[in-house]
Amino acid sequence: MEKILFYFFAGILLFAATMVITVRNPVRAALFLVLAFFTSAAIWLMLEAEFLAISLVLVYVGAVLVLFLFVVMMLDIDTSALKEGFTRYLPLGLLVAVLIVLELIAVLGAANFGLDQVPVPEGSDESNTKTLGRLLYTVYVYPFEIASVILTVAIVAAITLTLRPNKRKTQDPAEQVKVRSKDRVRLVKMASEKRQDGKGKP
Amino acid sequence: MLDLLTQHLLPNIGKILLIVAILMLAVAYLTLAERKVIGYIQMRIGPNRVGPRGLLQPIADGLKLLLKEIILPTRSNLYLFVLAPVLAIGPALAAWAVIPFDAGMVLADINAGLLYVLAITSMGVYGIVIAGWASNSRYAFLGAMRSAAQVVSYEIAMGFALVGVLIAAGSLNLSEIVMAQQGGIFYWYWLPLLPLFVVYFVSGVAETNRAPFDIAEGESEIVAGFHVEYSGMAFAIFFLAEYADMILISILAATLFMGGWLSPFEGIPVLEPMFAWVPGLVWLLLKTSMFLFIYLWIRATFPRYRYDQVMRLGWKVFIPVTLVWLVIISTMQVFDIGPWFNNIVEVTSP
């Protein structure tokens, strides 16, 4: 039963991953990437890594890819220009692909990474989340803190790169609240006009 | 194999069908309640022609939408155009799997329940974004863009508010979170987590794209936003998803901050035994209805936010508030201040 499910999800994952790089339309490619993330979350769930699986969906599918889609939808990509360099870069691309496949086989081949070497972990009584949290804040506390500092630096850097203080057209809410009607509207008292023919009341 | 079928599959499918059927009925009557409540707030009567006191109005509306033609725009992306409503309703229904309706009355009692809800509801935005893009219409596209930016922004504030609940209860399991609030109305988390409670509910209103945060639809600016090209049942499904999400946010607010199925008279001498016969489900539904009423009340009261103000509220007000309050409750939790957080934090290295 577990094997059937695994091959089912693995099949979908491979299909989705292939579609991501072959499909022409960038929006569809992004949507296939969503499918790929979702199926890999399902595979993680089968390994009883529920916290990781759900956070994969939460972070990547729920936030990162939404923003990705946001950007991709705004782009106006000429797909014919993308196809031009295909034959020229093919030999180099193939070489890199073959190298990566060889490396993956060397590390992740059935000899080192099969079910016999790395058995499916027994389901423990303690919740996955608790164990992860405890490990992160005790054994791996320094790498964890350093990673978060690096991420914060990256955020600050990204914001400073795009921030152009002189060209911004933002409104200051405090200024908006402080505005009174007499700052904007001036009531002028004028004498009423006379009728042109000079008869009757104005 | 047969054992698996009769022992697990069939009862669970039965429960799923029951939850979905009741939810759909609730959605139908929520639309009627909305029209009635807003009607009375605006000194009107609201629908009162179909059936006694207008009670059959949602049935009539549903039939009308079922019989209408579904128009497919010629230059739209057909597959995605049809897929979008499915992607909108799927997460809205899937999240209900972990909601505890009473002690032990839950479809899937998983440990990471709160995280699951957050992850699944964050998928709902795809329905809107894809609908807007596939329609090949400027208005729909603008609506989708606005919605994507808004939902992603408010998800952060909402997530932080839920982290507060998680710190207070010491668990991600929704049933355990309810049990941690035992002890009466002042032990429920609305009191110690008051800022987070407010942030959660307002972010919930923003997440479901409801007034005053309904800039994704914004009738006065972009016609109807992302679903401008949809008609008939395809449109109705977006509607169903929105209302199912509203009920979900309300029932979650009741579960996380208002003690879920717990009786409000707990710990009060005379009233507690007097109301002891009331099942927990009734309390939960009453609390949920209260939040749904607030939803409608807000819609009838406030004008729509301007787009930049929505973003400002989310990023510059809500996120700092939740961050500060997280520090405060963490301190309260660790130093055992107040009667609320009496669960012991175990710090042992593995």
Identify the residue among A54, A71, A77, A141 best suited for mutation to test binding to B, counting B beta carbons within 10 A and taking the highest.
Answer: A54
- Nearest Cα of chain B lies from the Cα of A30 at a distance, in angstroms, of 11
Q: What is the pLDDT of residue A154?
A: 95
- Whole-number mean pLDDT of chain B? 84
Q: For residue A77, name the pLDDT band (cuts at 50, 70, 90).
A: low
Tell me: do B177 and B274 sit in the same domain.
Answer: yes
Q: Which positions in chain B touch A129 (Cβ < 8 Å)? A: 111-112, 115, 172
**Global pTM value:** 0.83
Q: Report the residue of chain B nearest A141, measured CA to CA.
A: B349
Identify the residue among A66, A124, A126, A168 best suited for mutation to test binding to B, counting B beta carbons within 10 A and taking the highest.
Answer: A66
- ipTM of this predicted complex? 0.78
Rounded CA-CA distance B257/B259 in Å is 6
| Domain housing B219 | 70-340
Range A160-180 average pLDDT: 79
With an 8 Å Cβ cutoff, is B145 touching chain A? yes
* pLDDT exceeds cutoff 90 at A99: yes
Tell me: do B75 and B62 sit in the same domain.
Answer: no
Per the listing, tokens 């595979």 go with: A43
Contact B31, B61 (CB under 8 A): yes
With an 8 Å Cβ cutoff, is A5 touching chain B? no
- HEC string of chain B equals CHHHHHHHHHHHHHHHHHHHHHHHHHHHHHHHHHHHHHHHHCCCCCCCCCCHHHCCHHHHHHHHHHHCCCCCCCCCCHHHHHHHHHHHHHHHHHHHHHCCCECCECCCCCCCHHHHHHHHHHHHHHHHHHHHHHCCCHHHHHHHHHHHHHHHHHHHHHHHHHHHHHHHHCCCCHHHHHHCCCCCCCCCCCCCCHHHHHHHHHHHHHHCCCCCCHHHCCHHHHCCHHHCCCCHHHHHHHHHHHHHHHHHHHHHHHHHHCCCCCCCCCCCCCHHHHCCCCCHHHHHHHHHHHHHHHHHHHHHHCCCCCHHHHHHHHHHHHHHHHHHHHHHHHHHHHCCCCCCCCCCCCCCCC
Q: How far is CA B39 from CA B29, B32, B63, B92, B186, in A?
A: 15, 10, 23, 27, 34
Q: For residue A36, name the pLDDT band (cuts at 50, 70, 90).
A: very high
Q: What is the pLDDT of residue A115?
A: 63
Q: What is the pLDDT of residue A145?
A: 92
Which residues 101-160 of A are in CB contact (within 8 Å) with B? 127-129, 131, 134-135, 138-139
Tell me: do B238 and B287 sit in the same domain.
Answer: yes
With an 8 Å Cβ cutoff, is B116 touching chain A? yes
CB contact under 8 A, A127 and B112: yes
Tell me: do B309 and B335 sit in the same domain.
Answer: yes
How many percent of chain B have pLDDT more than 90? 14
Residue A94, judged by CB atoms within 10 A of its CB (0-12, 13-18, 19+), counts as exposed
- Nearest Cα of chain B lies from the Cα of A138 at a distance, in angstroms, of 6
With an 8 Å Cβ cutoff, is B133 touching chain A? yes
Tell me: do B57 and B189 sit in the same domain.
Answer: no
The answer as to whether B20 is a domain residue is: yes
With an 8 Å Cβ cutoff, is A63 touching chain B? yes
* pLDDT exceeds cutoff 70 at A82: no
Q: What is the pLDDT of residue B346?
A: 44
Tell me: do B84 and B58 sit in the same domain.
Answer: no
Tell me: do B144 and B283 sit in the same domain.
Answer: yes
Range A6-32 average pLDDT: 87
Tell me the fold of A1-76.
Four Helix Bundle (Hemerythrin (Met), subunit A) (1.20.120)
Q: What is the pLDDT of residue B343?
A: 54
CB contact under 8 A, A70 and B118: no
For chain B, which residues score pLDDT lower than 70?
1-2, 4-5, 338-350
